[in-house]
Amino acid sequence: MATAGEPLLLGRDAVRARLSERLARAARGQGGLVWVSGEAGIGKTRILGEARRLAEDLGFRVLLGSGWEDTGTPPFWLWAQVLRDAATEYDDLGPRAAPALALLPGARPGPEPADPAGGDRFTLFDSVCSVLERLAGEGPVLVVLDDVHWTDAGSLRLLGFVERVLAHRPLLVLAAWRDHEPGDPGLAELADGLAARAERIALVGLDPEAVGLLVRAESGVELAAEQARQVCERSGGNPLFVAELARLAADRGSGAVLAEVPGSATAVIRRRLGRVSQDCHELLVAAAVAGTASTVDVVQRLTGRSPEEVVALVDEAVAAGLARDVPGRVELPHALVRAAVAGSAPAGRVRELHRAVADLLCGRLDDDPTAAAEVAEHLHRALPLADPAEAVAMSRRAAAAAMARHAWEDAAEHLTTALAVAPTSGDVRRQVLLERGAAVLAHEDLDAARADFVEAARLARVAGDADGMADAALGFAAGISGFEVRLWDRAQLDLLEEALLMLGERESVARADVMARLSVALSFAGSSERRSELAEGAVALARRLGDPRAVAHALAARCDTMAGPAWSERREADAAEVIACAREVGDRGLELLGLRLRIVARAEQGDLLAARSDMAAFEAAASTVGQPLYSWYVPLFRGFIAHLEGDIAQVRRCADEAEQVGRRAGSHNAVILAAVQRSWIAIEEGHEEDVLRELAGLIDLFAETAPAGQGFVGLFPGQPRAVREAALPGIEAAVASLPDDAELISNLCLMAVAAVMNDDPPWAAAVVRRALEPWADRFAVDGIVAGAIGPVTRYLGELALLEGDLDGAESYLARAAGAAAAAGASRSGHHVRAAQARLARLRGEQAASAPSASVARFSRDGQFWQVAFGGASGVVRHVKGMTDLSVLLARPGAEVHALDLAGAPAAPREADTGPVLDDRARAAYKVRLEELDEEIDGAALDDDRERQVRAEEERSFLLAELGAAYGLGGRARRTGAAAERARSAVTWRIRDAIRRIEEVHPDLGEHLRRSVRTGTFCRYDPERPVTWET
């Protein structure tokens, strides 16, 4: 028979071998996540136990965590257990470990909870991850997570975060998930995502042979093959069920077992319960109800027995296989056992026990706020013996603790439980709805959150509660933070208007907040005068009340009402005050709002250095919050910088990422601004028709984005000529109708782009130029810095060229060149130089920035290279291949060894003529011969006779040289590998640089592609002499 404490692992040889191999790979630094799944009782826990033993034999540090079926379990309890085992390792980690420590009640004081609306979850996840990485840096680590089907959604999200860093570390995570477990569909969806990225071990039932072995090991009864097959068939090979049957076999023999196979494992467990004393049965029921609180002390109080009696009864339960021998606890061995034991007691007795456990646990609340979840669970299970009001209050307390720990899903569940027993009307229900709406909004379910806020508003309306209506309206309109208010939302406007009417003229923070939010919500839906009146009134009221948070919200709303280019400086000042107020009250979401506003204001003024500094601050702050509502702006801003610098491929990647992340937050802005970025990609690449495609896509999604009138649309780039010609007579009226808002300059610049593309008549260009001239000192951006349009003077210069005003064009373009250089806007600088070249041609003379065909420029300016050739110029971002090219261009016709270009020391090749030189030369010659063979074949295919002849002549020369030197070698080549690496690296670098040059200067790219030869020796060999300024 099996010995106590030695779990059997029969029929799992293949699984054990797989675990052993996976641990060996993890020990070598190839970590990962292994997902063990199967039905209840299939043996997942035993598999994890075997993995633990194997890991310890290999020298792994093993950390354990387990889910618990009670909904009162604290959030992140799974990980709190894991971290508790490593708590002594934290002292050397510094402040990064503080958020992880906060998961351990009583371990040491944790950081102050972050603003729940901000949800500082990223910092927590990163902290836990850093602790595990630190431990793995000292030796291989195995994290064993059992019963993850009972954990919270936050713990599964944390597991997903950890999973992404496992691949290249000696850190392996094993997680056990029970299939077919009823529960939260959202939790199952998270688990499916994790399982899809993990290595999976799906456990199935034992075969008949293993079933027979298990029965014999557990009971000493030997089953015949046919009996084993029947038991296997009727039990499904489930090891837990088979073990229960084996215990019956020990009492009655194999024949009796086959005759009386019960219908479920629960029936088997209840039979076993019938064999213990009544006192033992009552003790087990108390322990099953107490759940995580089933310490000997608690069970003693619940049963009214002495410590000695409890110990004796526990021993009886252990002997019957109904409890584990765990010091200080009365612990049942399996969830099926706990459920069967609790179900065996009368419902009234179970409620009494739940009520008693709740009373006992209340003493822990002051020291451990997370205990509120467990107390609330017992109170709800004790109903109607417990007071419903007390149960609701405790659930709200548990939800607040979960929000402070960034466990938003748990908070929503606690509040849902509270609503089930809360009064159907009144202030308590309204408050619970508001709290659940905020929790649901935090984990990105906008529709569900709005449903709660609408119901809260209805209750406030019925009760005549103005403040309650204000809370509901603000929650509906993007939550307390108001970071992103939905536009064109009639329901939102109606609620805010109703709240403002109910608040009356009484001065309050609620009134200031509603006025500010309504002002923003009325964008594109109300008069500018009303919006300004509301925002200015909110600022004045908030200042009188002296509330920094209200002042910040009101100032942000005022910035929104003066979004036009005339107000950039004032918006920058207001945004700075928003940031200061937010930092004063510790509101991270409000700080991000202020940074976003200031980024736009600074970019419009051409202060791109300061704007980029704010973008970096925004990214750092958003990363600590870790919510898509904020984080989608990070790729958007990166796309803006890429556009600024001319990296169009990066702009496309960033636009797609911004939209993908923003959609998770239900952000309309993300979809709109990503389309704006893609529109500018289309313009930069000369695919103007795609601009209209992006606009049409937006109109399909948001009809309100449609520009007013066909005439306006006809003035955009990409329109068929017939449409544009029909719209052109109305250009003056269209320009005059443009509102003085954030889109004024960008719309005028789009008109200018289309005018240049279509070579508009002078009178039409003059209309757009007059409208743009007041903003000549601005830097045009599109949207919330989605598109880096560039200095307005560039567009004024191009329009002046269309008018024939060459002096005006020269002045504007000179200013634009300086503005682009100061802003680091290399893409704009390229467009300016192209316009200056057109100006030079129109004047019939050479411009300083457009050298003649016989003089060319290839010079570095910081992180950029100025290139000019054949009368055109451009700017290319620095890469190593540009430096290689500059060396070759400075020495036309001369061969430069790849080792010199790669930065390798040249002395060994020049210092002597001994064996090292012979080996290296021979290797280089052979590599070059292979290259020449490829060159000859390529030239023949291209029908390029001149190139083929040059290559064949060089090949003949090298063969003669190699023949003369052959025989000096015979020794191992000690430098050929270095030469080969240099050849490969330099060849790739030069080709990459030429590709980049072709993007901005196709003629120069083609010239270099034909004239530059790469290989072990590189050379610039132009078809005709070119004088380069380097």
State mean pLDDT over 742-765.
90
Percent residues over pLDDT 90 in the chain: 37
| Enclosing H/E stretch for 316 | helix 307-319
pLDDT at 264: 57
Beta-carbon contacts of 700 under 8 Å, excluding residues fewer than 6 positions away, are none
Instruction: Give the three-class secondary structure for 248.
Output: helix
DSSP secondary structure string, 839-855? HHHHHTS--TTS--TTE
pLDDT digits (tens, 9 = 90+) for 757-797: 888 899 999 999 999 999 999 999 998 999 999 999 999 99
Greatest mean pLDDT among 143-157, 478-492, 871-885: 143-157
pLDDT at 106: 54
pLDDT digits (tens, 9 = 90+) for 79-88: 988 888 776 5
* Range scoring the smallest mean pLDDT among 19-33, 414-428, 493-507, 953-967: 953-967
Q: Rounded to the nearest 10 degrees, what angle do helices 792-803 and 806-823 cross at?
A: 160
Alpha-carbon gap, residue 882 to 888, rounded angstroms: 10
* Range scoring the smallest mean pLDDT among 109-113, 318-322, 461-465, 773-777: 109-113
pLDDT at 739: 82
State mean pLDDT over 721-739.
86
Q: How many CB atoms lie within 10 A of CB 953?
A: 11
Find the angle CA(1003)-CA(1007)-CA(1011) to the nearest 5 degrees.
Answer: 175
Alpha-carbon gap, residue 62 to 47, rounded angstroms: 15
| Enclosing H/E stretch for 1019 | strand 1017-1020
Residues in the chain: 1030
State mean pLDDT over 746-765.
91
CB 642 within 8 A of CB 604: no
Q: Rounded to the nearest 10 degrees, what angle do helices 608-625 and 633-645 cross at?
A: 150
Q: CA dihedral defined by 786, 787, 793, 797, rounded to 10 degrees?
A: -160
pLDDT at 797: 96
Rounded to whole angstroms, what are the CA distances from 934 to 28, 898, 928, 955, 962?
42, 18, 10, 11, 19
Nearest to 774 by CA among 569, 564, 610: 564
Alpha-carbon gap, residue 909 to 897, rounded angstroms: 10
pLDDT at 90: 54
At 299, list the tokens: 């069970």
Nearest to 823 by CA among 619, 594, 612, 680: 612
Alpha-carbon gap, residue 70 to 50, rounded angstroms: 26
pLDDT at 109: 39
pLDDT at 952: 65
Alpha-carbon gap, residue 1030 to 858, rounded angstroms: 5
pLDDT digits (tens, 9 = 90+) for 574-614: 999 999 999 999 888 899 999 999 999 999 999 999 999 99
CB 560 within 8 A of CB 482: no
Alpha-carbon gap, residue 484 to 672, rounded angstroms: 13
pLDDT at 229: 83
Give counts: helices (H), strands (E), the chain. Answer: 50, 14
| Enclosing H/E stretch for 925 | helix 915-942
Percent residues over pLDDT 70 in the chain: 82
Q: How many CB atoms lie within 10 A of CB 94?
A: 9
Mean pLDDT estimate for the chain: 82
Amino acid at 142: L
Longest dimension (CA), the chain: 112
pLDDT digits (tens, 9 = 90+) for 526-570: 788 999 999 999 999 999 999 999 999 999 999 999 989 999 999
| Enclosing H/E stretch for 649 | helix 648-664
pLDDT digits (tens, 9 = 90+) for 439-472: 888 776 778 888 999 999 999 999 999 999 999 9
What is the side-by-side order of every strand in the sheet holding 32-38?
61-66, 141-146, 171-178, 32-38, 199-202
pLDDT digits (tens, 9 = 90+) for 334-360: 776 788 888 889 999 999 999 999 999
